[in-house]
Structure 1
Amino acid sequence: MDKIKKVKLTPAACGLDLGDGSERAEYVNQDYILNTLGRPHRNIGIMYTYYPKDKEWPERISVACKDMEIHFQWDYPYDDYFPYRGGLDGDTKGEPFQQMRDIRRHGQDVALTLTIDCSLEDEYLRQIAKELKPFGRMRLRINHECAGDWFTHNQRFSYKEIGEFFVRFAKIVKEEAPQISLVFCGGAVGDLEAEDAPVQYEEEFKEAFDIADIWSNDCYLALHYGWPFDVCEKGGDSYAMTPVDLFFERLDKTSKRMTKVNHGECKPFVISEFNTDGDVTGPMHQGDSIKRFVEKLKSENADWFDGFSMYQFRDRGRLGLEIEDPNNSAVGIPQPILKDYKDILKDPFFLPGLEETEDTALPVTLRWGGAEDAEGIAIPITFEKTPEFCEITFEEDLNLMMELNGRWFYKAPGTKTVDMMSAFFETPVEPGTEMTLKIFAPPATGENDPSQGEDWAVNYYTTMTKMPQLRIRYEEIQEVL
């Protein structure tokens, strides 16, 4: 372990993001998700709401109105997401800030969805932008699915007002925290047969298309939208299914139309919520159409498509890689789709690039820009065969993400030794295999440090001065007798 090289983390051909918590489930900590899936995501999506002038605020609305008779998930006075506890008269000690810190410590960027009162004055919005600035190159999705009629913003404001609010908020964010990417999540092209068919509410949202950094749509190959108020049965009217080819065609034509409306400038396009609902297909077949969609993406070479977010890790219905145990919300029950998704995670099309460059030596400064732009080190290792023991020990109190044999590991500050044997449980190695242990250093607190220099809002720096120690053994300590 005397030689080390510099290594750079670069974007995948297509990004993979993951939803973690919503009106349908609680947040699951990133240690559990990383150990379950074996690699980090580009973005972890969390969903919050901010209606500080409502009399029920800041209580979660389903708790504040627990005795209210409702017949649809969005019948409450405001959206049943977790309350955003920052803003004017708030603080950053609670949520979503603790979750954002957890996400960034684990080498991922934050994708914050925020449904928000469009009547709020600029001072509210400016405070939010300032609070988000230390969280680096995050994505902010404001009042998503805004071409619909179910969310509170659609019920209280016109489509024109929603578009104008997005533009107003986006301008403030660009002033206060320009490293944040603004995501506009509107509708899609409706008539696929018509030449130059418009996107829903195209005129009302034209300025939002222009100022947004990323265009988005929430769409599912299958969805039981009547959940949890009815049971999905054949012949019912509370679910929908879209064939994969038609699904892709709609995305493609939507991107092309928005590009034309946006003076010919094509912005990255994402699906911020994507899945096939097991309520419709049954859990045994849930992953089939997702795998077909992945193959369609790869064969079409859709360079306008930036990635999709699996919605979500754990769910009280059947939109999760795990189902929440009804007896204990802290327990997840893995679904068959989990294996399908782990295969997608390993597909080179979705893997971030890991480019080894020149030799270097300790001490070395590691730069963390984000999940698609970071500089770390690579330590070459030759394995005699698949080991029986593989552990790494650090003297320094560092926050690190490490990759070995395609498996990623987290080392928190205060942790000395990390067992890396799970890198070989599913992928043994041939005798004499050479590989590198790659090490990156995301922010230890989950936030960037203003004292680090002019670029503090986009980069975080960690200096590593001591080489870690590897314990590799190729035989058991004693055979079983």
Structure 2
Amino acid sequence: MSEYKIYSLHMGKAKCAVDLGDGSERGEYVNQDYILNKMGRPHRSISLMYCYYPLDKEFPGRISEVMKDEDVSFAWDYPYDDYFTYKGGLEGNTEGEPFTFMRDVRRHGQDVTLTLTVDPHVSDEQLIAIANDLRPFGRLLLRINHEATGNWFSFNKRCTYQEVADFYCRFNKILKEYAPNVSTILCIGGIEDLNKNEIEKEAEFSQAVKETDIWSVDKYMALHWGWPYDVAERGGTSHSRSKVKDIYNMTKRSFERFKEINGGVTKPMVMSEFNADGDVTGPYDQAAMVKEFCDMLKADGEDWFSGFTFYQFRDRGRLGLEIQDPNYADCGIEQPVMKTYKEIIHDDFFKPAMTRGDEVTLPCTLRWGGSEDAEGLEIPLHFEKNPHFCEVTFDDDSNIMMEINGKWFYKSPEAKTIDLMAAFFEKPLEGEADLTLRLFAPPASGENDLSIEDGLMNSYTEIKKLPNIRIRFEPVEL
């Protein structure tokens, strides 16, 4: 029998969820171990951005590499979008991208938001193949042909807005049949003028508003869309800056209009890309604007907003928590917005709800539904004072996410001992304290077992015994 009491624990939705963009046309994917160590907690979801244009002769090459010798003066001047290319579907397999990264994300206790720009001319068979690709990845969020009321992406240049909207509904219907674990995100312009009450291209996209699972707008409080082909300077025409209050109000008005179109019935409302571009604001105002928006969310007494995705973790420009080091791509240079963002995501308003249940005994089975619905364990621990050693040692190949004193840690199947002392470096205990160690078990492979009855939505792990918990309150030798 364990010397510790053990309780069941449920992890549920935050008042406002936080998601994080990781990789795009402006930056490469950063592994989840690095991000977790920097941020101190997992996100609800990690957003990955890919494109699928299999009817083009250049595909599946990344278009900026295939056409690197072409004279291009705007990021979206290529035949198709300059994202990493989706290597699955009817023509490929799930051994490469984005699936390797999706597994990394899910192993670390986060859901996947897959942004996919798709040629609307692909066949139903090709869309069914994508749906089948996504079946093992749990409660995945799929953002199809985002910013669809714009004019920069290739799918908008190939089709009318009505055709883009009809394609969204066609793909959404296929997903409901072949991959019901996937929730769709419709990302369109929304309310762009506070003096108007119609969303952008409302006539064309009203049906998509009704059929999608989640509503979304992308809102940059400042943006330099001319990057990297020019420099933003005062008087230039390739950048803009808005008032934070106006962005907030347009987002809320967008939700209200979506609701009206949907007959008064609400759906989750998110902002799938959110930031202020440091190219326009500089590093200090960038942080201040992000904080101002989040403060407005906390102060708003109405329950209308489900979450936002900060775009992005590491960026070659100034839209990242880190700027990619121009001398060494694997190295990031932290920006002031990193400290501000960490303070935001460690605020209770943006953290997942934790609910303790009854006392349990081992062995027991933990369920991982997703980052907003998971069953774990909570172990109360008493600390005499700030520790000199705090570590846990496992003797199995379990895949575990742990939290203590507000900081999260990951134990891979290969790892045995996890040093938890980092939880006390930024937040040292000032005296005696009672803390809890929380454990969850996301799928070790990053995929669900579809052979079990509810494998589309849930993953299960048996916990036979607790790790050895070693806590010492003084150095080994004095």
Q: TM-score, normalised by structure 1?
A: 0.98
| 2:112 maps to which of 110, 113, 118 | 110
- Conserved 8 A contact 1:395-1:466: no
1:119-138 superposed Cα distances (whole Å, 9 cap, x missing partner):
01100000000110100001
Deviation, 1:345, is: 1.1
1:46-67 superposed Cα distances (whole Å, 9 cap, x missing partner):
0000011101011000010001
Q: Does 1:53 align with 2:55?
A: yes
Which position in structure 1 is the counterpart of 2:103? 101
Deviation, 1:89, is: 2.1
Identity %: 55
Which position in structure 2 is the counterpart of 1:268? 268
Which position in structure 2 is the counterpart of 1:371? 371
Q: Which amino acid aligns with 2:371?
A: A
1:422-433 → structure 2 map (5 Å cutoff) = 422-433=422-433
- Conserved 8 A contact 1:7-1:375: yes
Deviation, 1:81, is: 0.2
Which position in structure 2 is the counterpart of 1:43? 45
- Conserved 8 A contact 1:182-1:213: yes
1:221-267 superposed Cα distances (whole Å, 9 cap, x missing partner):
11111110101111211111111111111111111111111111121
- Conserved 8 A contact 1:213-1:267: yes
Which position in structure 1 is the counterpart of 2:460? 461
Range that drifts further, 160-169 or 232-241:
232-241
1:416-474 superposed Cα distances (whole Å, 9 cap, x missing partner):
000000000011124331111000000000000123x2111100000010221011111
SS in structure 2 at match of 1:221: strand
SS in structure 2 at match of 1:295: helix
Which position in structure 1 is the counterpart of 2:476? 477
Which position in structure 2 is the counterpart of 1:198? 198
1: CA distance, partners of 2:160 / 2:62: 25
1:82-93 → structure 2 map (5 Å cutoff) = 82-93=84-95
1:293-320 superposed Cα distances (whole Å, 9 cap, x missing partner):
1111111134121111000000000000
Deviation, 1:155, is: 0.5
Q: Which amino acid aligns with 1:134?
A: P
1:158-190 superposed Cα distances (whole Å, 9 cap, x missing partner):
000000000000000010111211000011223
2: CA distance, partners of 1:209 / 1:342: 33
1:356-381 superposed Cα distances (whole Å, 9 cap, x missing partner):
11000000101000000000111110
2: CA distance, partners of 1:446 / 1:92: 13
1:42-441 → structure 2 map (5 Å cutoff) = 42-194=44-196, 197-441=197-441
SS in structure 1 at match of 2:215: strand
- Conserved 8 A contact 1:213-1:268: yes
1: CA distance, partners of 2:386 / 2:193: 56
2: CA distance, partners of 1:460 / 1:432: 38
Q: Which amino acid aligns with 2:457?
A: V
1: CA distance, partners of 2:221 / 2:285: 12
2: CA distance, partners of 1:136 / 1:144: 22
Range that drifts further, 324-333 or 19-28:
324-333
Post-superposition, which runs of at least 4 consecutive aligned residues in structure 1 deviate over 2 A? none
2: CA distance, partners of 1:256 / 1:405: 39
Structure 1: gaps spanning 5 or more residues: none
Deviation, 1:350, is: 0.1
2: CA distance, partners of 1:467 / 1:288: 43
SS in structure 1 at match of 2:276: coil
Deviation, 1:207, is: 1.1
SS in structure 1 at match of 2:220: coil
SS in structure 2 at match of 1:303: coil
Which position in structure 1 is the counterpart of 2:33? 31
SS in structure 1 at match of 2:306: strand
2: CA distance, partners of 1:417 / 1:40: 20
- Conserved 8 A contact 1:170-1:182: yes
Number of matched pairs: 476
SS in structure 1 at match of 2:55: coil
1: CA distance, partners of 2:34 / 2:275: 21
Q: Which amino acid aligns with 2:38?
A: T
Q: TM-score, normalised by structure 2?
A: 0.98
Q: Which amino acid aligns with 1:465?
A: K
Deviation, 1:199, is: 0.5
1: CA distance, partners of 2:124 / 2:309: 30
Deviation, 1:201, is: 0.6
Distance 1:29 1:14, change over 3 A: same
SS in structure 2 at match of 1:101: helix
Structure 2: gaps spanning 5 or more residues: none
- Conserved 8 A contact 1:387-1:474: yes
Q: Which amino acid aligns with 1:183?
A: I
Alignment RMSD: 0.9
Q: Which amino acid aligns with 1:146?
A: A
1: CA distance, partners of 2:449 / 2:217: 33
2: CA distance, partners of 1:342 / 1:295: 14
- Conserved 8 A contact 1:8-1:374: yes
SS in structure 2 at match of 1:318: coil
Range that drifts further, 438-447 or 247-256:
247-256
Deviation, 1:193, is: 2.1
1:321-341 superposed Cα distances (whole Å, 9 cap, x missing partner):
000001111111111110001
